[in-house]
Amino acid sequence: MNTSTIIKFMAGLLPAAPITGELLDEELQQAETSEAEAESETGTDSKYADYNGPTMEEEIASHSGNVPAIKGTDAYNVQVGDDFDPLAGVYAIDNRDGDITGNIEVTSNNVNTNRAGSYNVSYRVENSRGGFYEYTRVIEVSNAASDPIPMIPPTEEELAAASGESEEAEENAASSSAITFLGLEDITISQGSEFNPKEDVAIIDVDGSDITHRTYISGEVDTETPGEYTIAYAVFDHFGDPHAKARTITVE
């Protein structure tokens, strides 16, 4: 599970005392930025982590003949009002030139996503030897939800990198499961007494280090008004994974 997903899960885990919105927004933006930068630097894409189809190399090897082929052009439904990119999910292969997706031309496109109906998009691709292939696909515009965009097969390198990212994430998640929250028992206090949410609280990281000082605390206790109050505690371990726990404070 990537960091942004864990943050969203953590926010939903504590509805009675949600982590401060500004904190979540900041951490989520940082996580998404870090992931985007990592993908840009390594050329990997986490969307391939669970991919089990053919690789681009296998697709190319299975193609024969002197003419290239255009793939990902099955009939497609777009919901009225949605955006439509005629090249999204479309790729082209040739048995000699390999991946020639960059050679694809959209020769005609009359799709109007503001009005329901049947439309056509035509494509053309040519290889280095002058062989070409043309195809026209049907695009339906309706009130039904848009179809998912077909996935372009990853290269073997992309697939291997994504698999490595998935394994590393699983290892980190397993390693980070041993974080320890101390002093977060539910307690009952007398009306009018003082309450410090940090008192006797300690959080120990997976490597045994004390990371209490990095804890974010959300929620308030009105010691003058009897009732049950929830205090939430959240912290990021040294792997960068977030952890959260809540406690109930009863004033009577």
Q: What is the pLDDT of residue 72?
A: 95
Average pLDDT over residues 37-57: 67
Q: Do 29 and 90 share a domain, yes or no?
A: no
In this prediction, residue 208 carries a pLDDT of 80
Residue 3 banded pLDDT, cuts 50, 70, 90: very low
146 and 183, same domain (yes or no)? no
Per-residue confidence band for 167, with pLDDT thresholds at 50, 70 and 90: low
Domain final residue pick, 118, 153, 188:
153
Distances (CA, A) of 67 to 54, 58, 208: 21, 17, 62
Q: Which of 123, 153, 183 corresponds to the end of one domain?
A: 153
68 and 147 fall within a common domain: yes
Please give the Cα distance from 119 to 195 (Å, whole number).
Answer: 67
**pLDDT of res. 185:** 92
Q: Is the residue at 158 inside a domain?
A: no
Same domain, 107 and 143: yes
What is the pLDDT at residue 190?
A: 95
Residues 13 and 78 in one domain: no
Answer with the one of 100, 123, 153 that is the final residue of a domain. Answer: 153
Contact 51, 151 (CB under 8 A): yes
Q: Quick one: pLDDT at residue 36?
A: 53
The span from the CA of 93 to the CA of 61, in Å, is 9
Domain count along the chain: 2
Report the CATH number at residue 210. Answer: 2.60.40.10
Write out the residue range of the structural domain in which residue 184 sits.
3-45+175-251
Tokens linked to 155:
């290269």
219, pLDDT greater than 70: yes
Q: Which of 170, 202, 226 is nearest to 50 (CA)?
A: 170
Does residue 25 fall inside a structural domain? yes
pLDDT by residue (tens digit) across 118-154? 999 999 999 999 999 999 999 999 999 999 998 899 9
Beta-carbon contacts of residue 182 (< 8 Å; ≥ 6 apart): 200, 201, 202, 203, 204
Residue 243 lies in a domain: yes
Check whether residue 17 and residue 38 sit in a common domain: yes
Pairing, β 187-189 against β 242-251: parallel
**What's the CA gap between 87 and 97, in Å, rounded?**
20
What is the chain's mean pLDDT, rounded? Answer: 81
Q: What is the mean pLDDT of residues 91-110?
A: 96
